[in-house]
Amino acid sequence: MTIKDTPEEWEIRSSETPFRGAKTSVRTDEVVMPDGSVARRDYQVHPGSVAILALDDDDRVLLIKQYRHPVRQKLWEIPAGLLDVPGENPLHAAQRELYEEAHVKAEDWRVLTDVYTTPGGCDESVRIFLARGLSEAQGERFTAEHEETDLQHARVPVDELVRGVLAGELHNNCLVVGVLSLVAARGGDGLDVLRPAEAPWPARPFEA
């Protein structure tokens, strides 16, 4: 048996979208089960996201702290953002988010991992990049609004983040997955064999 996720789509008898928001919507599908029964499945339809684990020369990860209203907490996170344009190149989106949220650019980009955040209730897929060779970006800083006007920034050693994740002190999924994937990659074949920055992404196809 090969342990690998595979595409599959069960028959949908009907589909409706009872809610449409600014960025996401909610869809209700009636799906035919293997035994022939039909079950309703409600889920959030999401454009997809990118996240950036930006690692500096001192082995520190660039973090931001942001208020997240659904969980009523300020969370330490890695820079991230939505794929605002259908078919948008995820690398370009990640470079934009790193600039906007941290005013930083990077010379070396790799794909760290791709994840579905909550596949039981949302179709969001996130591509997490590893960015190295960091430097301050040129030009004016991005004008923040809403929650982003209250961002805090920090650079934290990888070992300290691993400790915080395992101690239950850090909860953002992209931060947790990104940091642990970084450590796993280092303990395996190394960072230089990670997928290239424009590797195919079947969950969110794009033009290079």
Catalytic positions, please?
148
- Smallest CA-to-CA distance from 165 within 183, 186, 138 is with 183
53: nearest Cα among 149, 166, 183: 183
Separation of alpha carbons 87 and 80, rounded Å: 17
Say if residues 61 and 158 touch (Cβ distance below 8 Å).
yes
Are 110 and 195 in contact by the 8 Å Cβ rule? The answer is: yes
How far apart are alpha carbons 89 and 86 in whole angstroms?
9
SS3 content of the chain, % helix, strand, coil (to 5): 25, 40, 35
Q: How big is the CA angle at 85 (ends 207 and 121), to the nearest 5 degrees?
A: 100
